[in-house]
Amino acid sequence: DLSTLNLDYRFPPLKHDLLLRAAQGEPVERPPVWIMRQAGRYLPEYHQVKGNRNFFECCRDAEIASTITIQPVNHYEGLIDAAIIFSDILVVPQAMGMNVVMIDGKGPHFTDPLRKPEDLQKLTKNVDLIHSLGWAFKSINLTRHKLNGRVPLLGFSGGPWTLLVYMIEGGGSRLFRFAKEWIYKYPKESHQLLSRITDILIEFLALQVKAGAQMLQVFESWAGELGPHEFNEFSLPYLKRITQELPSHLQKLGINPADIPVTIFAKNSWYALNDLCSLGFNCVSLDWSWDPLEAVKLNNNRVTLQGNIDPGVIYGTDEIISKKVEAMIKGFGGGKKNYIINFGHGTHPFMDPEKIRFFLQECHRIGSL
């Protein structure tokens, strides 16, 4: 029951809705810009606030998570058009009963990954999200209030396939041998797991909106590890369930689904773009393997496209950053409609915050032309 969380639903009015308008396909004065992993290790103030705490401890502390979420909005005052809640896609496997630790400099580690179908029995039977992820809803609620309407707040989740991969591999991977063993040796059980994950994701996303998230993004980061046929079997149907079933879950919570744009980022799944544009998402986020011109043509104004500059450009000269930003915005048709600027994937810890500032300034300058 949500009421046990004592959330405050009297939200301050949104003073800057550029992102939401672009996501809804309305014409805009310039394309909005935000950056995946905009809160994180490249910002000195992130390390300051995080101190010696471990990553998940920071996520679970609403005061710390909200502070970190707002850091890039403050650092780049007036240059960033959204905040994304500081959390992780791996909190859902935790809610399903798995133990995940974040090893500094190495990434996530599951102490007991699902290696055989029998391991499915280890998962929690009746996941109670309000109980297990109550902290996430409190953190979103506090952050929305602290943002005071400066920019919209994004909630997010992993995609079903990406979460299956982490739950089976137990961490990042190069060969994906365990996840591949599941889909090719235990397809029935793989579908059972995907289906259970999807049920929980839909509820999790809806509750994030109830708590204060104004837009959502689904990160299907490992999409590109599947070929087109396997993507159509093990990812696409579950992404479709999200777009089909989320609206009624939102309605039950008293929210108009039409007010909440949803973005899909299915990294490296170039073959899937046509389907992704028809699945019911408002926005499709692209990695840098796409030539914007080609993506725009294929999309044919069905959704708002997001992306897609190679984050590595931040290591380049100002002159080249400007050129690449210009080419990207032009490629996406000038950015006055159906476009949100983002990186093709997240920031790196080694990036110079001043270079990112220059990138953002150029997005504003060129996007306003």
Residues that bind ligand CP3 (CB under 6 A): 36-41, 55, 84, 86-90, 102, 104, 107-108, 156, 172, 219, 221, 346
CB of 342 to ligand CP3, least distance (A): 10
Within 13 A of 36's CA, how many CA atoms are on the CB side?
28
User: Of the two residues 204 and 219, which places its CB atom closer to ligand CP3 in the complex?
Assistant: 219
Strands 100-103, 107-110: pairing is antiparallel
CB of 251 to ligand CP3, least distance (A): 26
Closest residue to bound ligand CP3 by CB: 221
User: Of the two residues 117 and 346, which places its CB atom closer to ligand CP3 in the complex?
Assistant: 346
Q: Using alpha carbons only, what angle is made at residue 262 by residues 261 and 265, rounded to the nearest 5 degrees?
A: 145
Query: Tokens representing 356?
Result: 């990112």
User: Of the two residues 38 and 299, which places its CB atom closer to ligand CP3 in the complex?
Assistant: 38
Q: Which residue carries 């992780």 as its tokens?
A: 88
DSSP character at residue 348? -
CB of 369 to ligand CP3, least distance (A): 28
CB of 333 to ligand CP3, least distance (A): 26
User: Of the two residues 316 and 346, which places its CB atom closer to ligand CP3 in the complex?
Assistant: 346
User: Of the two residues 59 and 366, which places its CB atom closer to ligand CP3 in the complex?
Assistant: 59
Query: Tokens representing 200?
Result: 């929980």
Within 13 A of 303's CA, how many CA atoms are on the CB side?
25
CB of 88 to ligand CP3, least distance (A): 5
CB of 80 to ligand CP3, least distance (A): 11
Residue pair 199/126 in contact (Cβ under 8 Å)? The answer is no
Query: Tokens representing 58?
Result: 């920071």
User: Of the two residues 55 and 238, which places its CB atom closer to ligand CP3 in the complex?
Assistant: 55
User: Of the two residues 94 and 132, which places its CB atom closer to ligand CP3 in the complex?
Assistant: 94
User: Of the two residues 89 and 309, which places its CB atom closer to ligand CP3 in the complex?
Assistant: 89
CA dihedral 28, 147, 89, 92 (to 10 degrees): -120
Alpha-carbon distance values, 364 to 42, 71, 73, 357, 358 (Å):
22, 20, 15, 11, 10
CB of 211 to ligand CP3, least distance (A): 16
CB of 204 to ligand CP3, least distance (A): 13
Long-range contacts formed by 268-272: CB under 8 A, 24+ apart: 268/223, 268/224, 268/225, 269/220, 269/223, 269/224, 269/226, 269/231, 269/235, 271/227, 271/228, 271/231, 272/223, 272/228, 272/231, 272/232, 272/235, 272/236
